[in-house]
Amino acid sequence: MYGLKREAIQEGLQPRRLPVAVLAQEFYHMVRRRGRNSEFSLVLRMALRSNPFILLGMIRTGWKLFRKSAICLAQR
């Protein structure tokens, strides 16, 4: 299955801005750069590259999480 998904992403067969593929790519780059990933910046980058408007919908949840210090802006 991953083989097919990999091929689809490489060949650009998936719809443009499909978040699934964007997420995979952003995840990959983040781990390559830093070894670990941070959920906050991962989601932010994914959204910016696929459909920035969904960020609006996330504000509410994000704020709750931030208040509970379940996410933080910098990597720990």
Partner 1 sequence: MSAYSYFPGCSLRGTGAAYEESLLALFHVLGLSLTELEDWNCCGATSYMSIDEGSAFLLSARNLALAHKAKCRDVVAPCSACYLVLRKTQDYAVRYPAIGAHVGKSLAAANLPALDGVRVRHPLEVLYNDVGADRIHQLVKRPWRGGPVACYYGCQIVRPYHEVDRDCNPTRMDELLNAAGVPTVEYALKTKCCGGSLTGTMHEIGVRLNYVLLKEAVRKRAQAIVTVCPLCQYNLDACQAEIRRGTGERYDLPILYFTQALGWVLGADPEALGFSRSISGQKSIRQWFSTATEEAKAYV
Phi-psi region of 42 (alpha: psi -120 to 50; beta: other; left: phi over 0): alpha
Residue 70 sits in the site that holds partner 1 (CB under 8 A): yes
Is 44 one of the binding residues for partner 1 (CB under 8 A)?
no
Q: Which residues lie closer than 8 Å to 5 by C-beta, 6 or more apart? A: 24
With CB under 8 A as the contact rule, the residue among 2, 15, 59, 73 that binds partner 1 is: 2
Q: Tell me which residues touch partner 1 (CB under 8 A).
A: 2-3, 5-6, 9, 18-25, 27-28, 31, 35-40, 43, 46, 50, 54, 57, 60-61, 64-65, 68-72, 75-76
